[in-house]
Amino acid sequence: MFPFHLVHKWLSHQGTSRFSKNGVILAILLLLLGGPNASALAAETFKLMVFGDSLSAGYGLPKPDSFTEKLAKALKQKGLNVEIVASSVSGDTTAGGRARLAWALADKPDAILLELGANDGLRGIEPATSRANLENILKRLKQSGTRVLMTGMKAPPNLGQEYGREFDRIYPDLAAQFKVPLYPFFLEGVVARPDFNQDDGIHPNPLGVDEIVKRILPMVVKLVR
């Protein structure tokens, strides 16, 4: 039998408060009596994977200024115990995401923030191809039981109205098809604003990342809760 009286006596000699002593004893009791153990407590951490391209990978930014780092900080400030798994690859297309999804799911995330498609638009990839890739990704995520928050993208205006209409429809259509929440445009409030972008005019700077996190945070909080 565990000598609880000795533990209590030792804590008394250490000058520990009654609250602290009772907390330690309660923790020992829970461990020995099959209550919440260390592994169960660890399991309470929600694992959120950010699966995307350079926009969420923090291209051109110090790590503390990246989207994943700032999102993790914002969630912590909300009192949420969330582990962010950074799984974004600069330059990735929807095809690249489709190809590496199985490897990413080996990490067993509870949810995925899906941010892909910007490079498809920049390269002028046929919208039907991008749609098929994202549809495949969402289908496999649904089969795995992983929660999803999909973020939308908009086609560059230089590709024409027809291309733009077809590309822009991909995200709301798939969100409705798979019944997943959609944040309509990942760069909302940031695109075409020099003060929020790096010199390339494409990737957000630290202020731009702050704006993205602020706008998308309510949907992420809802996802992890």
Q: Are residues 29 and 54 in the same domain?
A: no
Q: Which residues form the catalytic set?
A: 54, 200, 203
Instruction: Judge contact between 100 and 137, C-beta under 8 A.
Output: no
Taking the C-alpha atoms of residue 182 and residue 126, their distance in angstroms, rounded to an integer, is: 22
Domain that holds residue 109: 45-224
Tokens of 141: 């995520």
Instruction: Judge contact between 67 and 53, C-beta under 8 A.
Output: no
Q: Are residues 135 and 203 in the same domain?
A: yes
Q: Are residues 33 and 100 in the same domain?
A: no
Q: Are residues 70 and 176 in the same domain?
A: yes
Q: Are residues 88 and 130 in the same domain?
A: yes
Length of the chain: 225
- 58-70 per-position pLDDT tens digit: 999 999 999 999 9
- Give one DSSP letter per residue of 69-90, joined into a string: HHHHHHHHHTT--EEEEE---T
Across 27-46, average pLDDT: 53
- Domain count along the chain: 2
Average pLDDT, the chain: 88
Tokens of 84: 């962010």
Across 40-55, average pLDDT: 84
- 210-225 per-position pLDDT tens digit: 999 999 999 999 999 9
